[in-house]
Homo-oligomer: A and B are copies of this chain.
Amino acid sequence: MGSMALAGGAPARVGLAPKNGVFGSNLKQCTGFMLKTTPNVAFSSVRVRASLSSSTQKQHSPKTSGVKSGEEVHIAVLGASGYTGAEIVRLLANHPQFRIKVMTADRKAGQQFGSVFPHLITQDLPNLVAVKDADFSNVDAVFCCLPHGTTQEIIKGLPQQLKIVDLSADFRLRDIEEYAEWYGHSHMAPELQQEAVYGLTEVLRDEIKNARLVANPGCYPTSIQLPLVPLIKAKLIKVSNIIIDAKSGVSGAGRGAKEANLYTEIAEGIHAYGIKGHRHVPEIEQGLSEAAKSKVTISFTPNLICMKRGMQSTMFVEMEPGVTVNDLYQHLNATYEGEEFVKLLHGSSVPHTRHVVGSNYCFMNVFEDRIPGRAIIISVIDNLVKGASGQAVQNLNLMMGLPESTGLQYQPLFP
């Protein structure tokens, strides 16, 4: 990574057409789903009431990574009116130290959070404000749940001392050329991109501990990299023909009102979308390529299915000569043995998406294929938890020096 020279001077390729592919009609804005149009990149007027902390209130000393037990960490949630924002609130309801002090939602500014998400009316929360009106003087850390493309400028404007976990895709791609290619405009905060640490917790824990800005991984990339990165690093599988068929619940598409995501359009069915062109592809290939130390190109077919939460990734891989399915199993077992949130199932147990809903778990298992030399790996997560807000809390725990499972010990909700 050290040599990853960022072309600082790279002329902003704003307006560049998004990378072409076979697009489905159900393009998504959120959680890594594709953008149909180039996002509005004019954020120059964003002014954040950051250090204007001439407030009369008791001065809050910013928390750093060494938070003591019992000490409160003040949290801001930016973009709190979306599903990942609401999920942060749900998870933090039982966090012993993180306290939400600021919530922003530009289009719902002035509203009570409970009117936007009535399932959380019992929580004592600040009212929603526009991000430009937010007061960060009393804040230690930020969860940024804003749409892709809007995030770079906002984060640039935040006070330097804040710890930030960004749930958008804006800082996930280390190569800003690749960012420009997939998102249709040049990166607006390349210096922050250099600083950002990719937040795949179990894989990059040490880097995350010392990070100020974490780029929280996408849901598909989380469910795919957790099993594949260790297997590739150990040279147990070939990287030439990795084929992935993945299925996502609809919450990954966000709360935006779209015909394609109406109940009537989604219930009782499945369809593929974004074949070849899904924006999580470069993020996945980046992670696998780093593990392989060579460029990896994957086959990736995401599907939208009639469930609110949940994600299954089925990975069809070719093993290196002499390697057996049991070798894959044993290596994953050794890798994740002590992990609280990544669980390799026993025997031939098949991971069900239903068995992780509401929790931060990733369940996975490895299966023999009928075709000799091949294996099938299946992983499941809740796309809104381990695939978004749960991993974000896990990361901020690490960044603040807390045990990483703090406030995350929710068992899955089944049935």
Contact = CB atoms under 8 A, between A and B. Distances in A.
B263 A93 contact: no
Given A257-B259, A261-B262, A348-B22, A298 B371 contact: yes
A352 to B, nearest CB: 4
A28 B345 CA distance: 22
B316 A243 contact: yes
A353 B271 contact: yes
A120 interface: yes
Interface in A78-128: 83, 86, 89-90, 93-94, 117-123
Contacts of A269: 307, 310, 352-354, 357
Interface string A259-279: 101111111111111011000
Interface residues of A, number: 91
Interface stretch (A182-190, A204-212, A407-415): A407-415
A314 interface: yes
Given A119-B414, A251-B415, A376 B275 contact: yes
Contact of A370 (B255, B298, B356): B298
A315 to B, nearest CB: 10
Nearest to A366: B22
Contacts of A412: 90, 119-120
A308 B353 contact: no
Contacts of A271: 312, 350-354
A358 B358 contact: yes
A22 B245 CA distance: 19
B24 A350 contact: yes
A350 B413 contact: no
Given A306-B267, A353-B270, A411 B93 contact: yes
Interface of A: 22-25, 83, 86, 89-90, 93-94, 117-123, 241, 243, 245, 247, 249-251, 253, 255-259, 261-273, 275-276, 281, 297-301, 303, 305-310, 312, 314, 316, 343, 345, 348-359, 361, 367-371, 374, 376, 378, 409-415
Given A263-B266, A267-B307, 12 more contacts: A245-B314, A255-B262, A263-B267, A263-B308, A264-B308, A270-B353, A271-B312, A271-B351, A275-B368, A276-B370, A299-B376, A303-B314
